[in-house]
Each structure stands twice: as C-alpha cells, then as structure tokens.
A and B are shown apart, each in its own frame.
Chain A
Amino acid sequence: MQHDDTYCPSDLSLTHRMRFLLLFSRQGKLRLQKWFTPMTEREKKKIIRDMTSMVLSRQPRSCNFLHWKDLKIIYKRYASLYFCLAIENQENELLALEVIHRYVELLDKYFGNVCELDIIFNFEKAYFILDEFLMGGEIQETSKQMINRSIEASDMLQETMEEYMSKPAF
C-alpha cells in the first residue's frame, strides 16, 4: 500500500525528532529548506508560508519558541537570516537552540564570517555541511572539527573543470 504521509500513526515513535529546517531572510525569501519527513510540494509551500509569516510577525524580544499544530517551532535570527527548526512536542527546545547555533558555527567556520550572501551563492555547500551534521532528523556528528574535515576532504575530491573535461565517464 502506498505510504500516505498525511496520516499520523497512533504509534508516536514513528515520527521523526526534527521535522524540518528552514532558512529565510527578513523579507521572507527562502534560502534553504531541509525536510526530514516526506511531504508533497503543496504541503511544503504551505509550511514555508506559515513559518515565514508566523516568525516574521513575532515581537522582538519574545521567546524563541512557538507552537504550530503538533510541533514546536524553534527560531532564531542570525544577522539577516532566520533559522527555523521544527521539532516534536517531546523534544528538548533548549537543545534545539544549540543545534541551530552549531549549524551557524559550522557555516561560519567554512565560509569565514558567514553572511547571507554566502548562503545564497553557495547554497549547495550549505546543504553539504548540513548533511554532515544532521541526518534523518537526528544529529550525526557532535564534533565541529570532524565535520569540517569531512567537508574539506569531500571538496578536494571534487574535480576541477579541466579534470572534469579530460577524464572520460567510463
């Protein structure tokens, strides 16, 4: 039977810990979207709309936690970017803030004083870094150095244009 994701099973542990991570600017422009559970394009678009409008309309100096449907939304602004992480109700919000912070630190180390433009022009790298830090809604690696090393090593593996053109496919 085709898996239908609009259903939440009565068995709670079937649901993931982190549900999605969104990065968007103060004007609501999306800069990164990571979904930890399968969703239709339509659902994703709706969530993005809801999140941006909810988070952007928050009073300054409010607490960083919101409730939305059956999830907790943790958001934090770093310079001109909002980081918005959705976690389940039984998850630890304070730790979620640390998760967001860790990701920002990783980006900062990689890009050197990261700013929104870095994420815009190098979005694929932002994803690569995220995919070394989190997987399937869980934390994969807790050491910053390990993650940095993996990314650097992977980057080295990427062929230069000349190598790319000269090496045959098979």
Chain B
Amino acid sequence: MPAPIRLRELIRTIRTARTQAEEREMIQKECAAIRSSFREEDNTYRCRNVAKLLYMHMLGYPAHFGQLECLKLIASQKFTDKRIGYLGAMLLLDERQDVHLLMTNCIKNDLNHSTQYVQGLALCTLGCMGSSEMCRDLAGEVEKLLKTSNSYLRKKAALCAVHVIRKVPELMEMFLPATKNLLSEKNHGVLHTSVVLLTEMCERSPDMLAHFRKLVPQLVRILKNLIMSGYSPEHDVSGISDPFLQVRILRLLRILGKSDDDSSEAMNDILAQVATNTETSKNVGNAILYETVLTIMDIKSESGLRVLAINILGRFLLNNDKNIRYVALTSLLKTVQTDHNAVQRHRSTIVDCLKDLDVSIKRRAMELSFALVNGNNIRGMMKELLYFLDSCDPEFKADCASGVFLAAEKYAPSKRWHIDTIMRVLTTAGSYVRDDSVPNLIQLITNSVEMHAYTVQRLYKALLDDISQQPLVQVASWCIGEYGDLLVSGQCEEEEPIQVTEDEVLDVLEGLLVSNLSTPVTRGYSLTAIMKLSTRFSSVNRIKKVVSIYGSSIDVELQQRAVEYNALFKKYDHMRPALLERMPIMEKTSSNGPTEIVQTNGETEPSIVEPKHPPPVTQPANQVRALLIALGLSLLNIVCMYGLFLINHESLSTIPPMIAYNKNGLKIDFTFERANPNPNIAVITIHASNSTDADMTEFVFQAAVPKTFQLQLLSPSSNVVPALNQGTVTQVIRVLNPQKQQLRMRIKLTYTLKGSPVQDLSEVNNFPPQSWQ
C-alpha cells in the first residue's frame, strides 16, 4: 500500500485545478483515500491525513469525519501527532459536539506532561475551546500551573484561567491565591497575561475589584518603569517599550480607578506623564495615548487632566492618519455629554471633518456635530449640516435629515427659521426623510399659527417644482388642504405673496392624484386636502366632481374615502363645515396616554388619526360623539375617512402585560412601554412576586437576548421578594431592537429560599407582537 501523498504535494496538486469542478473532484478522491486510511486505523500516516483534511476544510469542504482522528492524534505519544491533533481539535471540534469531552482525559494527562511544549498545547486548546464541563474538571490543573515558576507555562495558565472563569464564573475564587505574586514577575509574557487575568476578575466581581485596588501603586510602578526604561530590544516597538503591556495596565487602572477617589489620585501623575511623554509619530504611540485618554475620562481625574485628554483628542483630529482622526471622533462622541464645553472648543475642526473623504469619518463627524449643536451655535451649525445634507452620500441622508429636524425642534431661534429649515430638508433630501417626520412636521406647522400663510405658500411653490419627494408632497397637500384659503387670498407677510387661483390649486392637487410618482398614502392626503378645500374655496362643484370620480377608484382606501366624502356632500352637507374646520393646536403628549385636544374655538373636532395607525386615540367629546352617531359613521370610519394622523407615537399602553415565568411560587410579570423618542427601544418592567410562605432573599434576575438585540438591565428595586405576595421586586430592562426581530429572552433566576440556594433558567418566547413590531 503506497504511502498517502504528502500535505504539500496535495496542496500543489489542488492548486493546479482550473475549475471548481476539477478541484472538487480532486478533493473527493483524496477524501476517499483518507477515509479508507482512517478505517484501517493507520497510525503512521494519520497525522499527515488529518493535516490534509484541515487544508481541505479551509477550502470549505466538510471534514467532520476527521474529528475522532484528531482525538487519536492527541492521545499519541508523538509530538508531531499531538501538534496536529490539537490544531485539528481547535478547528474541527467545538463544545457542541459530545466528542470533544473525550479530549478531557488527554488534556489532563498532557497538562502534566514532562515536556513543556506538550503542556503548552494542552493549555492552549483548553484555553481556546474548553467547554464548561471540561473547565470544571481541569480547573485544578490550571490553578497548579498558575503557580509554577516556569514562565512559559505560567503565562499560558493565566489565560487559560481567564477562559475557565469566563465559562464557569463560580470558579473564580479558586484562582485568587495564585494571583498573589503575579505582578512581581519580571517576565513580560506572564505580566501581561496576569494583568488580563486580574482585569477579568475585577470586571466580574465588585469584591475582587475592591480587593485588587491595593495593586494600584504596583501597577503604577510597573508602568513607570516601562516608560522610563531604556531601549529593550526584546519588547521595543518603534522606540516604545512593550506597548501591549502598557495598554493593558492602563485599562486595568481604568477599572480600578473608576468611582474611587483614592485610586484615581494615585494614578493621576503617571497618566499625565504618559499623556505628555509618549511619542506620537507612529501608530503605536497613539494607541497608548488613546488608551490613556479613555482611562482619564473614565476615572475621577482632576479637571486639568481631563482637559489634557480632550486636547489630545483635538490634536488627533488634525493628524494625517485617518485612523487616528476616526478614533478621535469616536472618543469625542463618547465624552461629549460629560465634557461638553471642552469638546465644543474643537467644534470647527469637527465640522471640517464633515468634508473628509472617508465615509466612516464623515459619519462620526456628523453624529458628533449633532451632539454639539446648542442654542448658541444653531444657526452656524445648521448651515454646515444642511450643506452636508445636500452633498453627502445617500446612506447618510436619512440620519442627517432626522438629526436636523431634532436639532431644529430643540433650538430653533425663530419659527420662520424653523419652517425654512424644514423646507430646505424636504426639498433637498425629501425622499430620504423618515415616514414619521410627516406627522411631526404637520403638528409643528399647525402650531406655528402666525406662519401658516408663509408655510403654505412655500410648500405650494415647492410642489410646482417637484412632486416626486413623497414626504414633501404629503406635508404640502395637508397644508394646502388646511390653509388653501390663505394661499389664494395672498395673505403672506413674510415674503412677496404669490397670485394663485383656486383652480390652479385644485389643478396641482388633482395632479398629485393622477401622477405615477404618488404613493397611495400621498393620494389619500391629496384627496382629503381637496375635500377640505370644499369649505374654504368657492369652487365646490369641481370638488364634488373629483370626489365622485374617485368613488370608483381601484384603490380601496381612496374609494372608501371618496364614497364617504360623497355621503358628506349628499346627505350631511350641513355638517360638512364643522367637520372640515381648521385643525386646533395639538399638544404633543408623552409616550403613554391619549392625544389631548385643546379646544381653541369652542367647536369640538374629531380626533385625527393616520390611516395606517390603529384607532382609536382619544375619547371624543360628547358633542363629537353625537355628531358621529348622527352621521351613522363609526369612529373607525372616521379614522379611515380623514386620513387623520397621530401626533405622538402609538399609545403603547395597549401592549398587554404577560407572565414570563411562574414556577415554584415565583412569578414574574412583564409590563411594557416604549421609550420616547426611540421607537426601537422597548422598556420592559419585571414584577417578581412570591407566593410561598418564606421570603426569597438574594434574588437576582439576569437576562440574555439574541445577538441582534442589545439589552440593558437597570438596578432592581430590591433583592428580597417578600413571602405571600406581600410585595414585588421590580426591575427595568431596556431592549434595543433595531431590526425589529421577534423578541426572545433567556432569563436566569437565583435566590435563596429557607436557606437553600435556588437557580433556574428559562426561555421567554411569548412576547406580544406589539412589543417588538
């Protein structure tokens, strides 16, 4: 039986394949040979065959039949076998396969092997892919190796311990004694991995964090030595000694100094020293400076140090290297809330970055610019941002437009300026504006009473130019429907009033109805606008004609409206003026609760709701109810009829609460709200109650969500759930769901009942659709 072909030979052969099909054929042939070799339990060439299999696996071909062979290699005495075996295990196996548990014994033996490189392989594999069970079984071995004087093994054991802690957090305590002298090491590898281990422990346990605070002076000393020490060839990178270690120490200092005055003070000097002495000509120096800035901003540093940090970021913004500019913008974005004034000083540089060629930089600069807008700089900033909106790539337009609207709403110096800004956005980026801007803008316009004439005139002129941008067209139609009388009577004060006749206005609105560019929603707006003009214009007959034509429209929405408007004309003509009256000022309400209507003229108005949104919103006043009943129209019909809109986001007190968990006397209810202004965040409040006859103490609620979500758990009201339903523990969860995927959650409950600890894991899959749609 000839020896199987060598690895490099196979690679060479496969690379000669000219087509995918040819390659596949070669691979299949080789796989068949390998399979039979495996079946024959060929020890000699197993290593070579697995290596070949790993190569083919990298090309994308299945290699699962080699999994057990990797285990056999690991169990072999030959180093060559072990090396490939462990590599194969790391590439082909993971904790999902039961097979991997078979490795445990081999790894255990190899951890105690006489050759350190074999021990190293075992540590590496365990530290990369060890499952919780394996970690539990082998934690003792790792702990032993953490105390060895062999630095090669010690550093690997430290990272292995990190992995064990990540997999089985309860085991963290057992590594505590071994950490005692870790920082006295001279060996940088051990030092580095020790800092990583200490960091992991501090991040996981407030007790550990408190315990390790005493290490701050030692860490400061080590860092100082690194900076002050002369050239060390072994660790030098462009004149800086072991930047990786420096950064890790800076990060640990950050964690230790956060919310602790003493620690922060102890590290103040060294941070200032690093910040001022680090060479900035190369990326490596800037990497350290960056980490230093992050640390300064996170701990309780003196204001002088904070200003130093922000200035470093400001200098970064002027660096030729785009990576550095990008990183500066990202960091400034993080600090803009807390150190607003300091960041403001760099505003002009930031605004210049809007013109940068790099897309990532532009995005960051845009976000940061919006964060810096305030009452003082609104006019100047908005000029820059509108210019940016004009010229930026389409991918930015939606976000930029939303940002402009938000900023304008908060800081507009005058109503006229506000309307002008909106007009500018609608005309330049109108098709990118988000759908929910339309109702918001309509509300804004309604409430700017003195600007009605000006607004409708400008919108009308915009429509004459361009009817392709739907949000613009919708807002314009609505305005014309409301204020068409002001338009034809030429009442504009802000600018030269235009001369336009009723017929011309109706021409434009009818044009929207027939245009291919108009979406069904737009058509709805325009039909309603035409109808409203029947009480503002004199050409009622023309309007009646239009309305009756659309009574047979194929579009069901349009048809229904037209039919009902027709009914208004025919049977309820005396009610028409009241129903189509001018809209009152609308109050924007907070997330839950119905829209309120402030009655301005003594007449009551029906509530206005967008056709797409579910009714009903408010309790109409009794008179309106009487009106509706008289019309024989249900509230639902009114809703569809008028194409009315909702001002605030959907009232989400309509999301029903749910029971998430109910076992062994512990019941957890979820209630929902949606956070304003971000509709992608669901705010869930958990209510935990206990029907057993003893209190549940040390109650901890934890939750995990799938990767596309982000979750934030706020502090609970307490950690004792009183017995016999005498009280509840509440806790707020905020879930960000940008992709509007179905919400699922895994929860973990731990508590102590009558002295015994209880732990349970549960899936929550019964979320009501309204909570995530």
> Which residue numbers of A lie inside 8 Å of B, CB to CB?
1-4, 6-11, 13-14, 16, 30-33, 36, 38-40, 45, 59, 61-67, 69-70, 92-95, 97-99, 102, 120-121, 123-124, 127-128, 131, 135-136, 138-146, 150, 153-154, 157-159, 164-165, 167, 169-170
Contact = CB atoms under 8 A, between A and B. Distances in A.
Interface string B700-718: 0011111111111100000
Interface in B195-252: 196, 200, 203-204, 233-235, 237, 242-245, 247-248
User: Helix, strand, loop or mixed for chain A's interface?
Assistant: mixed
Instruction: Name, among A32, A33, A38, A124, the residue most crowded by chain B CB atoms within 10 Å (CB to CB).
Output: A124
Nearest 6 Cβ contacts at the A-B interface: A94-B287, A63-B322, A13-B203, A141-B189, A9-B704, A157-B79
26 contacts: A2-B96, A6-B707, A7-B746, A10-B712, A30-B60, A33-B58, A45-B60, A67-B360, A70-B707, A92-B287, A93-B323, A99-B244, A136-B166, A138-B196, A139-B196, A139-B244, A142-B235, A142-B242, A143-B188, A143-B235, A144-B234, A150-B120, A154-B83, A157-B115, A158-B83, A169-B76
Contacts of A8: 704-707, 709-711
Given A70-B710, A143-B235, A164-B80, A98 B155 contact: no
B704 A92 contact: no
Given A95-B287, A135-B128, A142-B245, A31 B712 contact: no
A7 B763 CA distance: 12
Contacts of B327: 65, 93-94
Given A136-B162, A138-B196, A153-B117, A121 B323 contact: no
Nearest to B166: A14
B58 A139 contact: no
Given A70-B707, A127-B87, A150-B152, A159 B124 contact: no
A79 B163 CA distance: 34
Contacts of A93: 323, 326-327
B385 interface: no
A98 B156 contact: no
Given A93-B327, A150-B152, A3 B131 contact: yes
Contacts of B323: 63-65, 93-94, 97
B293 to A, nearest CB: 10
A92 B76 contact: no
A98 B117 contact: no
Interface of B: 7-8, 11-12, 15, 43-44, 51, 54-55, 58-60, 76-80, 83-84, 87, 91, 94-96, 115, 117, 120, 123-124, 127-129, 131-132, 152, 155-156, 159-160, 162-163, 166, 188-189, 192-193, 196, 200, 203-204, 233-235, 237, 242-245, 247-248, 283-284, 286-287, 290-291, 294, 322-327, 357-361, 702-713, 746, 761
B295 to A, nearest CB: 11
B299 to A, nearest CB: 15
Nearest to B64: A41
Contact of A62 (B360, B704, B711): B360
Contacts of A102: 237, 244
B360 A97 contact: no
Given A7-B704, A150-B152, A98 B713 contact: no
A16 B492 CA distance: 63
Given A9-B704, A138-B196, A169-B76, A98 B287 contact: yes
Contacts of B132: 3
Contacts of B95: 3, 38
B93 to A, nearest CB: 10
A158 B80 contact: yes
Contacts of B193: 138-140
Given A138-B193, A140-B159, 19 more contacts: A4-B746, A7-B704, A8-B705, A8-B706, A10-B704, A10-B705, A13-B200, A38-B94, A98-B243, A124-B83, A136-B163, A139-B193, A140-B192, A142-B189, A142-B244, A146-B189, A154-B117, A159-B78, A164-B78
A131 B188 CA distance: 17
A93 to B, nearest CB: 6
Given A11-B702, A36-B128, A69-B707, A169 B77 contact: yes
Contacts, number: 206
A99 B120 CA distance: 21
A32 B166 CA distance: 25
A40 B115 CA distance: 33
B668 to A, nearest CB: 15
Contacts of B80: 158-159, 164
A40 B287 contact: no
Contacts of A131: 87, 124, 128
Nearest to B234: A143
Contact of B117 (A4, A97, A124, A150): A150
A141 B77 contact: no
Contacts of B235: 142-143
Contacts of A16: 166
A147 to B, nearest CB: 9
Nearest to A131: B124
Given A1-B761, A94-B323, A136-B128, A124 B200 contact: no
A83 B322 CA distance: 18
Nearest to A91: B251
A38 B188 CA distance: 29
A143 B78 contact: no
B127 A135 contact: yes
Contacts of A36: 128
